[in-house]
A and B are shown apart, each in its own frame.
Chain A
Amino acid sequence: MDIAKELLEGSRLALSRAITAIENEYPEANDIMKELYPHTGHAYVLGITGPPGAGKSTLTDKIARAYRKAGKTVGIIAVDPTSPFTGGAILGDRIRMNELTLDEGVFIRSMGTRGSLGGLSHKTADAVKAMDAFGKDIIIVETVGVGQSEVDIVKAADTTMVILIPGMGDDIQAIKAGILEIGDLFVINKSDLDGADKLVREINMMLDLDAGSMMQARTATEEAIANQFHHLNVTKHEEAAPGYWRPPVHKVVAMQNEGIEELIGLAKKHHAFIEENGELHRRRTRRARDEMLDILNARINAHIKGHIVDNGRLDGYVKSFQNHETDPYTVVADLLKEMLK
């Protein structure tokens, strides 16, 4: 099966096999990605994160349906934690999305974190690319908002929604530092429960504190620019695209499909905003940079492993250090010469 070719021709099985190759780091994954890469860059990537049980999957289902109603095709990547003890996982996000299964315009894939350090964001990014090349208009990535690797995943999104629910109590204090940074939209789900308005107020307060400092910083920079370039009259463009996005806080009841259209509206607004002010371009540039370095690092590590670890040379060196015959610095310098020639 020529996976890349068939994927580009619209085979869902090929898309599925491509993601497996990416996940399992099969050697052919590289060739597949090479062929798919020129066909990527069209999809809009939406990250959805938040604590377990916040209703991320329920919300993903409703958002996907709203986009389908608007005629968009949707890809969904739902990431759930792998048990660090057994290496196994129960991936249950599809339970909330069963009605999407038979819609040919939707493709859902569940992934376990598989305890890979850093490699996870690389793999989900490639899975996003595979769905992008397949032709999905909107790609939603759902991850549990705990741990660095999950945060890395949503950083790869164009727009990131942070889902919170009433009654989280002190938890919100613990996570606020991390979430303030990554959220473009804050969604208060389960607004049918008590405490939703209180939570909205809390988040708004935190965001205003944050916004205050951001605005100050911007004003100082603006002043400096204006002072230097006032003869060019640069302020006009600044008005059209103010540089700071104040994340809105929006209440929904995902289970009842309440507030979803408005939420999609906010996502669209954010998309237009970052497109206009150049942030989308900056995010994608940063992502391309990180990705390139990731791939290079991974390849170099694999090379080192093949060159000195797997064949036992490393053990030999270690023995000679212990016998004081040589030292790691000398050996590494020699090895680099050997490997980089």
Chain B
Amino acid sequence: MEKKIRVLVAKPGLDGHDRGAKVVARALRDAGFEVIYTGLRQTPEQIAEAALQEDVNVVALSILSGAHPHLFPKVVDLVREKGMKDVLIIGGGVIPETDIPALKKAGVSEVFTPGTPTSAVVDFIKANVKA
């Protein structure tokens, strides 16, 4: 048996900042995860459907544009609606500290802001993923 943690790294919305997402994707690969990267400008519907088709354990969202209050909860809802109850949903990017409690309440398990070492992301996934 060869279980592998699969992570969808996605950029919702029209935000074109993809350096952070790519940095995180590479770090997760180097930690031995299978990373499905879908590129820029994804709608929440596309992200949820890709998560379903790829049967990922983690959905990792990156936003630097400020659209997170709307887009993160939308993705959480759609992923759950599709029957993926156990999928861990995390986010990162330029996100004010004051916004984080609301995001967590909406179902985002953790939020990583600029300057976070990627090892913190890896450790969080390992500790919280339901594989």
Contacts and interface: CB of A to CB of B under 8 A. Distances in A.
Interface of A: 12-13, 16-17, 19-20, 23-27, 82-83, 86-92, 94-95, 98, 101-102, 107-110, 112, 114, 116
Given A86-B29, A88-B28, A114-B2, A16 B36 contact: no
A316 B55 CA distance: 43
Interface of B: 1-4, 25-26, 28-39, 42-43, 45-46, 49-50, 52-55, 82-84
Nearest to A92: B37
A13 B37 contact: no
B4 A95 contact: no
Contact of B30 (A88, A92, A108, A110): A88
Contacts of A13: 52, 82-84
B54 A109 contact: yes
The 6 closest A-B pairs by CB, nearest first: A88-B29, A95-B39, A16-B55, A87-B32, A20-B55, A88-B32
A4 to B, nearest CB: 16
B54 A89 contact: no
B39 A91 contact: no
Contacts of A116: 2
B52 A91 contact: no
6 contacts: A24-B3, A94-B37, A94-B38, A95-B39, A114-B4, A116-B2
Contacts of B46: 98, 101-102
Interface of B is mostly: mixed
A133 to B, nearest CB: 16
Contacts of B31: 86, 88
A26 B35 contact: no
Given A26-B1, A101-B50, A108-B53, A86 B45 contact: no
B53 A98 contact: no
A90 B53 contact: no
Nearest to B41: A98
Contacts of B53: 12, 16, 101, 107-109
B49 A102 contact: yes
Nearest to B46: A101
A118 to B, nearest CB: 14
A88 B84 contact: no
A101 B51 CA distance: 10
Contacts of A110: 34, 36, 54
A13 B30 CA distance: 28
Given A88-B30, A89-B34, A112-B34, A98 B39 contact: yes
B37 A91 contact: yes
A16 B51 CA distance: 10
Contacts of A17: 55
A24 B1 contact: yes
Contact of B35 (A19, A91, A107, A108): A91
